[in-house]
Chains A and B, each alone.
Chain A
Amino acid sequence: MWRPLPVASRLATALAVVGTWWCRGRGRLAGVEPGAPTLERPWRRTWAHVPKRSAGADFTRADYAAARARAREVARATLGDALWAQLQRQGYLDVPSTLQPGVIYRLRVGRRIEVRCAPGVRSPWPAPYLCINPTYPLPEEEFFAHLYLYVRDREDIVRRIAAPQPWDQALGRTF
């Protein structure tokens, strides 16, 4: 015969279920098992309708705070401790061009890339700032780490897609 559980027992059962779900979601993958958090694959969606500097209408303040905290953690892991410390100390990272000696890309979190040239070196662009955004919303520190990888390892892509701009500005697809 079914009987309602005492309150404490029901609470313990509920906590155990939530705990199991949480551990499973964290340690394995999101999206594999029923009930686990879904892994968001942002390349599967279109984001053109999402306003600039936003992650979408379904995002709460708590979501933004959690996303930024996780982004900081992974950006640091991506760059490594030495570069991360340098970024925190000086507020930017300079990446020398491997395609054109004398050209330096100055990267700052959430901003356009500043192109700096040594005396006598001509910039490949008509304006000093390059606007490059992720194709889906990302926390700005996370995208900073991605942009650093692009500039350092795939400068050819950066040169192909960068939009030169005459002034500095916050990026539109990061938050």
Chain B
Amino acid sequence: MGRLIVANRRGHQVLEWPDTDTEEARQQIALAERIIQEARAHGALVSKKVDGQHVLDRAPFDPQVEEYQIVAPIAGG
């Protein structure tokens, strides 16, 4: 099971996709990829879980990753 955490004022919301090769899984994976692309286009960064800890990641979306997170864009002041 993969998951994408979208941090927002609600704390966060989660999109999950199963490991199975089903139409539902493909739809969820495609949606996760679109959300990540959209967030990056608006200045957000993306982290992925590696060895129990998140690290910022610039690689293309990989549905085999256990967990992604959208990291908010930042501004000074």
The answer on a CB contact under 8 Å between B38 and A41 is: yes
B12 smallest CB distance to A (angstroms)? 5
What is the minimal beta-carbon distance from A163 to any residue of chain B, in angstroms? 4
- Interface residues of B, count at CB 8 A: 37
Please, how many angstroms separate the alpha-carbon atoms of A126 and B14 in the complex? 41
Please give the distance in Å from A148's CB to the nearest CB on chain B: 9
Give complex CA distance A63, B31 in Å.
26
Chain B residues 1 to 33 lying within 8 A of chain A, measured CB to CB, are 5-16, 27-28, 31
Expressed in whole angstroms, the Cα–Cα distance for A92 and B54 within the complex equals 18
B55 at the interface (CB under 8 A from A): yes
Q: Which residues of the partner chain B approach A133 to less than 8 Å between Cβ atoms?
A: 74-77
> A40 to chain B: closest CB distance in Å?
5
A134: which B residues are within 8 A, CB to CB? Answer: 72-75
CB distance from B74 to the nearest CB of A (A): 5
Interface status of A15 (Cβ within 8 A of chain B): no
A79 at interface by CB-CB < 8 Å: yes
Min CB distance B46 to A, Å, is 10
Most B-side CB within 10 Å, residue of A29, A32, A158: A29
Q: Can you identify 13 A-B contacts, CB atoms within 8 angstroms? A: A39-B35, A42-B72, A43-B44, A67-B10, A69-B11, A70-B11, A78-B47, A134-B72, A135-B74, A138-B7, A138-B8, A149-B47, A150-B71
Apart from A59-B9, A158-B74, list 13 A-B contacts with CB within 8 A.
A29-B14, A29-B15, A37-B13, A43-B73, A132-B76, A134-B75, A138-B9, A138-B72, A142-B7, A149-B54, A149-B71, A153-B56, A162-B76
